[in-house]
Amino acid sequence: MRDATKSEPYPSVGQGHPDGRTPNVGPVVDLRYAEELVERTGSSPHSVIPILQGLQDHYGYLPGEALLKVCESTEITPSAVAGVSSFYDMFRHKPVGESIVRVCSGTACHVTGAERVEAALRRHLHIPDGGDTDANGLFTIEKVACLGCCTLAPVVKVNELTFGHVNQEKIPALLREVQESVDGEAPATEDPCDPAGGRPVINVGLGSCCMAKGSDQLFVALQKDVEESKLDVVIKRVGCVGICHRTPMIEVKVPGRESAFYAGIKAAESRSLIHRHFGAKGIFHRAARLWNKAVDGLLLEESVDPTELFRVHPKEPTVSAFLDYQIHIATEHFGRADPLDLDEYVADGGFSALARCLGRSLDGASSNGGRNPAITPEEIITIIQRSGLRGRGGAGFATASKWKLAAAQTSAQKFVICNGDEGDPGAFMDRMLLESFPFRIIEGLAIAAIAIGAHDGIFYIRHEYPLAVRRVRAAIKLCQQRGWLGEKLMGADYPLKFTIKEGAGAFVCGEETALIASIEGSRGMPRLRPPFPAQSGLWQKPTVINNVETLAMVPWILRHGPVKFATYGTSASKGTKVFALAGNVQRGGLIEIPMGTTIRQIVEDIGGGVAPGRKFKAVQIGGPSGGCLPARLADTPVDFESLRDVGAIMGSGGLVVLDDTACMVDIARYFLQFTQNQSCGKCTFCRVGTRRLLDILEAICAGKGRAADLVELEKLCRQVGAGSLCGLGKTAPNPVLTTLRYFRDEYEAHLQGRCPAGKCPALIKYHIRDNCTGCTICAQRCPVDAIPSTPYQRHVVNMEKCTRCDSCRRVCPSNAVEIV
Amino acid sequence: MSGETFTITIDQRPVDVVAGETVLKAAARIGIKIPTLCYLEKCGPLNSCQVCLVKINGRLVPSCGTVSEAGMSVESESVEVHEARRTALELLFSDHVGDCLAPCNRLCPLRLNIPVMLRETEEGRIQQAISTVFEALPLPGVLGALCHHPCEQGCRRGQWDDPAAIRAIEKHLADEHRQSKTPYIPSRKPASGKSVVIVGAGPAGLSAAWSLLRQGHSVTVADRHSQAGGTLTSVPPRHLPEEVLAGETRQLASLGLQFRFGSELGRDLTLDGLLRGFDAVILAVGGITPAEAQSYGLESSSAGIKAQAETFETSRKAVFACGRAVREMTQVLRAISDGQSAATCVNQFLMGSPIRKTPKPFSSIMGRVGRTELKLFLRSTSTSSSTTPCNPSAGLDRREASLESSRCLHCDCRSSGSCALQTYAQTYGVDASRFRSQRRNFEQQVQPGGVIFEPGKCILCGICVKLTEIAREPLGLAFIGRGFNVRVSAPFNRSIEDGLRQTAEECVKHCPTGALSWK
């Protein structure tokens, strides 16, 4: 009876799996593509993720038949397909709507109302909780961990279009816009640009955030208008400009004249801008004159130029405050360099460090006829060691120690990996660096390869960063075309092959051993260390994994010397750190500051503090592994040790400012929800422990907490931290522990049924004050008819019906709606 | 490297290890048994359960995957390490859907394994059924007649129609036994050389006597009446036929019990005198006044003799008291279980070990089941409603008892007793209800080949997934999902048995819990 019966390999379908993450029988699927894909990608077990990604790109989801086909025609087992396809966020087993609406739930988005945006989207599209696609099959809602556009929070991305500063009132227009532009295709920004020579240049920032604010459309409009008017002006693609709160930002550079900067300018202003700076010729000139007369002349005074409204002066106090503290090492030449102009990169000193490591000069010959030998791998490591460079990915492990350990291994094959799986919600430094400075990261990774003796390099980049993937791919191709990568690295007798692996959506893959598992085609589950990856990593070969920002600093250190690098920073934390400054702060953006800068300098001087009338309450630093530090500790210098001493960590560089509208219990709950959702599920403490921590926090936020809960919370936090297998679980309790330590009064208030910040829906009520004029706007906007429309009378909110969406309070012109 | 040996210390004890050996193996060699759930030699360290934690250099690490290094100092049996292991177990239990022991079993103060008794009866294995009953119950005939059967109140079948008629079945077994020619003699330990006298031959006294006899002690019961039974003798015969009580007395006598009738404490006997002749005294004299208690030279309480609730000790050393002599009780079952608990303490006293109340056997508790869950249990049971005996005065006959037994839902765990999770829970004093949480639904997949898969009991150790991989199963098993939602399942919605074509035997055998079992 217990004997295995030998019949067809995969017998008929049994009972359904309750979690619905297993293949469905969908519409009839043409399997020819699956066959082609396997042919192209290869049939070895480690091809599973690229194959699944290819299937999903083609079919929009993973049809069960196609998965079976893959198992039949490759060495990939059913277990691997089922396990891997259900592990990573990006894979879907059901057909999706025509458009995918991705609601970012990163930290900055969370504190600026992402949950309300999602609720409003669901209401608008009539998608109930638990469902994801509307009845017409037009839209599928997907919650994503972080889109990395934190300064635009809350962010929604529909297909390839990103929308920033979304609120419930903007949703109908947003969806209309999407339906009108069915393609939803973002303009390509990887084509080669003309070199400027001595011509006038307009620099357009084309980082993801800038593009989300329309800089790509502006870029295309400027190109078109310049061409039409036959002007000899170069429209130049540049990387992130850092001043994200003012994007899209452009710089007009005319030789011999001072640069002019514009912020927040749109494609519609393209013509005016060109007209203003370069006059105009031909048809366009006449048209512009006519337009100016017809429109401006009638409405405005002749002297008012619409573009003047957007003009920014670099000496403007807010801009200079934002820029003055910064030291640009990883972000050297920010806002000026074309991400994909290899000549420009070389002209700026790029690849000279790598060339020195190989004993080459940049014209392709051995330098000094070979008399001046290359810096040896040992010397590279010594230089990095003397610079004091520590990993920028979070833990701050000395980069040179990692390299030394890997260099000491005798294996014939070694790997270097650039860890671009930036997963912290509220962080986007690595995305920006990859998008803006791909050559710099390539150079850094190549130097790391030489230092340890590796001939294979891998860029592991999360799939949520398509632009970063495209730019790195384009940059690698440009290097190959020049003969600088491949069989002969920079012409030297050193083969180095670079490949790109796209992550598939799993925060835990930022952990080194999980990242390796993912590249090997498995579920991204970390393993016990030792052995460390530098001893036994990818395919059991010595492997060095460095964060993007760490690698971005390497060429600079070799060019300027370790001493120069070490002059920045503190005694144990050398150099600079890139931060993504976001949240309730006036001037968010991407900043690079010397280690040791205080939190206050960052928040108040660089970021301009919180909005007027609000109070600076805390900063969340280090993302889900970090902590919340109260405003009273704002003089803490930002370095590895100081942050550790106050219970936070440096982390990868997310720095979210919180004002008095943020509920600290809710913040703790938010992070636990994140880690709980991102836990790989392998070890007990992380899988179940974080869930139990979340249970307690949810109970407290719902007003069902008990005094004993705080004791259990603290105890379990310590045990989860001590007992988890990898860094994710070990640090997951930090947001809870720091909020318990610094904001215990808020926890206690919740136990008494109060949410002091007025955030937790179960603990707040809306009340309309006497100054209500009875204008009925709130009643019209209320999505659930909880406010009867009673003109000229004070309105009243029916709390039974109210969903706490906050619409009424936001739209009230008399500020009469209050949270009690 | 291989062959190199060095020394590490575990709990300050030196151990010689060969390079490459794990801490877990090194500890086992000096008799330190570190608990493991996800470890199976063949699979290598999976590092998932984290129950095998030890402390090295101030950090907790899983000993199954940690390789020994020269000079390593390991902490295993310390308060902190045990607390971490306990928490790991408690976390697993907070997401463990299933009962180790059925509610009927947990509610029986005498711990009769009712589901086993019912399955034996159903299958007609009457001798085994009798053995199950007679190993657990001191007075099975009396209980068959008079027990107030809390088991039936807890029976999940009662949520559907009527509870299984557990007492009637037990009565049937006791009747069968009384009519058989070869009485069942419960197992007994070898003679201890210790002697106990019990004053009072009522239910509490007889129960205590039965328990102590089985521990190998010599037991004498003294009573002022001329026959055993105490209050039981005043129960009308239509409720408790005389031959039943007579049968119980015979059974006890065959275990070696000495009776001394017509002897009353205070008149014929004194505590001083008894303590000269016996190693311990149990007073099970029934309801008495505080004054009477004092007249024995003991401290009194409002209900009679003052005795420690947990240990049954009176104010005088070696003198214990139980039953109605100590506290009010109306149920005969309570008196019997009180006598049994007192006997356990007296046994500890006689053996010189610390006296403490016997802990309840550990059980995971899933609580009330919903209608859909109940239907899963009902699938493999008889759907008929409760059985009415043809001859009500005689009770159930053998066929009727079997039929009624088949109504049991088998809601106890098939792996209870062989489950590593359950065993460690007992060892580490786990509180299975430490975390309040919404439990998942109970699921049960009954496979045609006989494998039963209960996903709610799976702790995701990964052993079965690994075993199918090693055996190159054509389909195999996989982890599906991520984080708290990870589940083990066969790929592509196939059945578990499809995934276990060559490895079913092996996987069921090595499942550390009751997630995989045979029907």
What domains are there in chain A, each with its CATH number? 99-180 (3.40.30.10), 201-313 (3.40.30.10), 354-501+508-565 (3.40.50.11540), 576-751 (3.10.20.600), 765-820 (3.30.70.20)
Cα dihedral across residues A656, A660, A662, A663: positive or negative: positive
A289 falls in which pLDDT band (50, 70, 90)? Answer: low
Phi, psi of A663 (to 5 degrees): -95, 125
Contact A763, A703 (CB under 8 A): yes
Q: How far apart are CA B10 and CA B25, in angstroms?
A: 11
Half-sphere exposure of A334 (CA within 13 A, CB side): 25
Taking only residues 180 to 199 of chain B, the set having a beta carbon closer than 8 angstroms to any beta carbon of chain A reads none
B484 touches chain A (CB under 8 A): yes
B102: closest CA among B375, B416, B387?
B416
Q: Which chain B residues have a beta carbon less than 8 Å from that of A77?
A: 469, 476
Sort strands A627-630 and B5-10 into parallel, antiparallel or unpaired.
Answer: unpaired
pTM of the model: 0.91
Q: How confident is the model over A503-525, as a mean pLDDT?
A: 94
Q: In chain B, list all ranges with CATH 1.10.1060.
A: 103-183+361-405
Give the closest of A86, A690, A692 to B435, CB-based.
A692
Would you state the pLDDT for residue A620?
95
Q: In chain B, list all ranges with CATH 3.30.70.
A: 440-518
Residue A147's SS3 state is coil
Would you state the pLDDT for residue A194?
74
Q: Which CATH architecture has domain B195-350?
A: 3-Layer(bba) Sandwich (3.50)
Q: Which chain A residues have a beta carbon less than 8 Å from that of B438?
A: 695
A11 falls in which pLDDT band (50, 70, 90)? Answer: very low
Contact B73, B8 (CB under 8 A): yes
Q: Is B491 close to A19, i.e. CB distance below 8 A?
A: no
Quick check: A242 pLDDT over 90?
Answer: no
Contact A608, A602 (CB under 8 A): no
Quick check: B29 pLDDT over 50?
Answer: yes
Question: Which one of A532, A687, A698, A725 makes the best mutation probe of the B interface by having the most chain B beta carbons within 10 Å?
Answer: A687
Contact A603, A357 (CB under 8 A): no
Question: Which one of B87, B467, B500, B513 makes the best mutation probe of the A interface by having the most chain A beta carbons within 10 Å?
Answer: B87
Give the closest of A22, A677, A688 to B492, CB-based.
A22
Of A290 and B375, the one with more pLDDT: B375
Give the closest of B47, B83, B504 to A528, CB-based.
B47
Q: How confident is the model over A448-474, as a mean pLDDT?
A: 95
On the question of a cis peptide bond just before residue A23, with omega within 30 degrees of 0, the verdict is: no
Q: Is A683 close to B468, i.e. CB distance below 8 A?
A: no
Q: How far apart are CA A239 and CA A592, in angstroms?
A: 15
Q: Please count the other Cβ atoms lying within 10 Å of the Cβ belonging to residue B110.
A: 19
Rg of the Cα atoms in chain B: 27
Quick check: A60 pLDDT over 50?
Answer: yes
Query: What is the distance in angstroms between the Cα of B487 and the nearest Cα belonging to chain A?
Result: 9
Q: In chain B, list all ranges with CATH 3.50.50.60.
A: 195-350
Q: Is A679 close to B62, i.e. CB distance below 8 A?
A: no
Q: How confident is the model over A605-628, as a mean pLDDT?
A: 94
Residue B258's SS3 state is strand
A305 falls in which pLDDT band (50, 70, 90)? Answer: low
Q: Which chain A residues have a beta carbon less than 8 Å from that of B61?
A: 528
Q: At what angle do helices A664-678 and A690-701 cross, to 10 degrees?
A: 150
User: Nearest-CA residue of chain A relative to B477?
Assistant: A79
The strand pairing partners of A596, in sequence order, are: none
Query: What is the distance in angstroms between the Cα of B493 and the nearest Cα belonging to chain A?
Result: 6
Question: Which one of B484, B488, B501 makes the best mutation probe of the A interface by having the most chain A beta carbons within 10 Å?
Answer: B484
| pLDDT tens, position by position, A354-379 | 999 998 887 756 655 544 568 999 99
Q: Is A15 close to B495, i.e. CB distance below 8 A?
A: yes
In chain A, the percentage of residues whose pLDDT exceeds 90 is 65
Would you state the pLDDT for residue A277?
84
Question: Which one of A84, A518, A523, A682 makes the best mutation probe of the B interface by having the most chain B beta carbons within 10 Å?
Answer: A682
Distances (CA, A) of B182 to A808, B127, B189, B241, B251: 85, 11, 21, 21, 11
Query: What percentage of chain A's residues is helix, strand, coil (to nearest 5)?
Result: 45, 15, 45
Give the closest of B94, B498, B504 to A692, CB-based.
B94
What are the structure tokens assigned to B431, written together? 């509180």
- Lowest-pLDDT choice from A196-200, A379-383, A528-532, B77-81: A196-200
Instruction: Please name the fold of domain B103-183+361-405.
Output: Fumarate Reductase Iron-sulfur Protein; Chain B, domain 2 (1.10.1060)
Q: How confident is the model over A95-118, as a mean pLDDT?
A: 90
What are the structure tokens assigned to B158, written together? 């009662």
A6 falls in which pLDDT band (50, 70, 90)? Answer: very low
Q: Which chain B residues have a beta carbon less than 8 Å from that of A87?
A: 479, 481-482
* B5-77 CATH, one of 1.10.287.3510, 3.90.1200.10, 3.10.20.740, 3.10.20.30: 3.10.20.740
On the question of a cis peptide bond just before residue A248, with omega within 30 degrees of 0, the verdict is: yes
Contact A477, A442 (CB under 8 A): no
Q: At what angle do helices A270-278 and A282-291 cross, to 10 degrees?
A: 110
Q: How far apart are CA A694 and CA A677, in angstroms?
A: 10
Q: Which chain B residues have a beta carbon less than 8 Å from that of A11?
A: 494-495, 498
User: Nearest-CA residue of chain B relative to A8?
Assistant: B474
CA B252 vs. chain centroid, Å, equals 24
B437: closest CA among A688, A682, A724, A706?
A688
Would you state the pLDDT for residue A283?
55
Query: What is the distance in angstroms between the Cα of A725 and the nearest Cα belonging to chain B?
Result: 8
Q: At what angle do helices A690-701 and A707-723 cross, to 10 degrees?
A: 160
Helix (H) or strand (E) holding A156: strand A156-158
Q: Is B50 close to A685, i.e. CB distance below 8 A?
A: yes
B58 touches chain A (CB under 8 A): no
- Lowest-pLDDT choice from A145-154, A501-510, A663-672, B471-480: A145-154
Buried b (16+ CB within 10 A) or exposed e, B27-42: beeeebebbbbbbbee
How many residues in chain B? 519
Contact A545, A417 (CB under 8 A): yes
Sort strands B195-199 and B280-283 into parallel, antiparallel or unpaired.
Answer: parallel
Helix (H) or strand (E) holding B425: helix B420-427
Q: Which chain A residues have a beta carbon less than 8 Å from that of B376?
A: none
Of A262 and A540, the one with more pLDDT: A540
Q: Which chain B residues have a beta carbon less than 8 Å from that of A63?
A: none
| pLDDT tens, position by position, A142-173 | 988 888 788 888 999 988 788 888 988 888 88
Output DSSP code: residue A22: S
Q: At what angle do helices A215-228 and A282-291 cross, to 10 degrees?
A: 120
Phi-psi region of B280 (alpha: psi -120 to 50; beta: other; left: phi over 0): beta
Query: What is the distance in angstroms between the Cα of A683 and the nearest Cα belonging to chain B?
Result: 4
Taking only residues 73 to 112 of chain B, the set having a beta carbon closer than 8 angstroms to any beta carbon of chain A reads 83-84, 87-88, 91-92, 94-95
Q: In chain B, list all ranges with CATH 3.10.20.740.
A: 5-77
Q: Which chain B residues have a beta carbon less than 8 Å from that of A684?
A: 48-51, 88, 91-92, 459
Quick check: B20 pLDDT over 70?
Answer: yes
Q: Which chain B residues have a beta carbon less than 8 Å from that of A683?
A: 47-50
Q: Is A681 close to B445, i.e. CB distance below 8 A?
A: no
Phi-psi region of A85 (alpha: psi -120 to 50; beta: other; left: phi over 0): alpha
The strand pairing partners of A569, in sequence order, are: A574
Give the closest of B61, B480, B483 to A679, CB-based.
B483
Q: Which chain B residues have a beta carbon less than 8 Å from that of A679?
A: 482-484
| pLDDT tens, position by position, B166-194 | 999 999 999 999 998 888 999 999 999 99
Q: Is B489 close to A22, i.e. CB distance below 8 A?
A: yes
Q: How far apart are CA A299 and CA A84, in angstroms?
A: 62
Would you state the pLDDT for residue A244?
80
Q: Is B443 close to A18, i.e. CB distance below 8 A?
A: yes
ipTM computed for the complex: 0.91
B495 touches chain A (CB under 8 A): yes
Assigned CATH for B440-518: 3.30.70
Contact A33, B516 (CB under 8 A): no
B454 touches chain A (CB under 8 A): no
Would you state the pLDDT for residue B295?
92
Q: Which chain B residues have a beta carbon less than 8 Å from that of A724?
A: 50
Helix (H) or strand (E) holding A261: strand A260-263
Give the closest of B62, B480, B491 to A528, CB-based.
B62
Distances (CA, A) of A623 to A105, A657, A672, A736, A791: 13, 12, 11, 12, 47
Q: How far apart are CA A444 and CA A433, in angstroms?
A: 12
Question: Which ranges of B40-125 does DSSP label H, i.e. alpha helix?
Answer: 79-94, 103-107, 114-122
Output DSSP code: residue A168: G
Q: Is A679 close to B482, i.e. CB distance below 8 A?
A: yes
Q: Which chain A residues have a beta carbon less than 8 Å from that of B470?
A: none
| pLDDT tens, position by position, B428-444 | 999 999 998 889 999 99
Q: How far apart are CA A175 and CA A121, in angstroms?
A: 9
Q: How confident is the model over A607-613, as a mean pLDDT?
A: 94
B468 touches chain A (CB under 8 A): yes
Q: Which chain A residues have a beta carbon less than 8 Å from that of B495?
A: 11, 14-15
CA A694 vs. chain centroid, Å, equals 24
B498: closest CA among B459, B519, B468, B455?
B468
**Concatenated DSSP letters for A611-676?**
-TT--EEEEEESGGGSEEEEGGGTT-B-SHHHHHHTT----SSEEEEEETT--HHHHHHHHHHHHH
